[in-house]
Amino acid sequence: MSQEFRHILRIIDTDVDGTLKASYALTKIRGISLNLANAILKKAEVNPEVRSGFLTETEIERIEGIISEPTKHGLPSWLLNRRKDLETGKDMHLITADLVLRSKMDIDQMKEMKSWRGYRHAYGLKVRGQRTKTTGRKGKALGVKKKEFVRPGAT
């Protein structure tokens, strides 16, 4: 390994720590889980135990190609984060800003159609069936505020 070590890598417009192992470094990209990272590295024929700072430019290009189009490289559809998209009907995998934007659009669509989940999102309540009687009280009034005690005769 005469390769020069890089402390920060740029993969898919994201800064990645070079001291992490390759599989954990890929999880720093929004939208990539550990299972997907391991599958990507296996398809790219990269050792997941090597530190990401030692990856070559060709290995990084192969990894970026697989991340951008995972279904064309033979990754199973159950690893993707957006299967059967409502608009296109295709299996897609969204990463970075696309993932954030699409999830925000989905929430806005639920609010617009006034679904149960949309209502819960709109009013800042728990969405996935958690209990709300005792938890999730942050940001709301808790308890009773006492008035200041004024002594009789003190004016």
pLDDT at 85: 86
When pLDDT is averaged across residues 8-16 and rounded to a whole number, the result is 91
CA distance 26 to 32: 7
All structural domains of the chain, each given as residue ranges with its CATH number in brackets, are: 8-79 (1.10.8.50), 95-141 (4.10.910)
pLDDT at 114: 95
pLDDT over 60 at 2, yes or no: no
Residue pLDDT, tens place only, 113-147: 999 999 999 998 899 999 988 887 776 666 667 77
Residue pLDDT, tens place only, 23-69: 999 999 999 999 999 999 999 999 999 999 999 999 999 999 999 99
- Residue 98's alpha-carbon distances to 31, 85, 95, 103, 123, in angstroms, are 9, 14, 6, 9, 25
| Least confident window among 3-7, 54-58, 148-152 | 148-152
pLDDT over 70 at 19, yes or no: yes
At a CB cut-off of 8 Å and minimum separation 6, what does 10 contact? Answer: 16
Q: What angle do CA 12, 100, 120 make, to 5 degrees?
A: 160
Residue pLDDT, tens place only, 87-106: 889 999 999 999 999 999 99
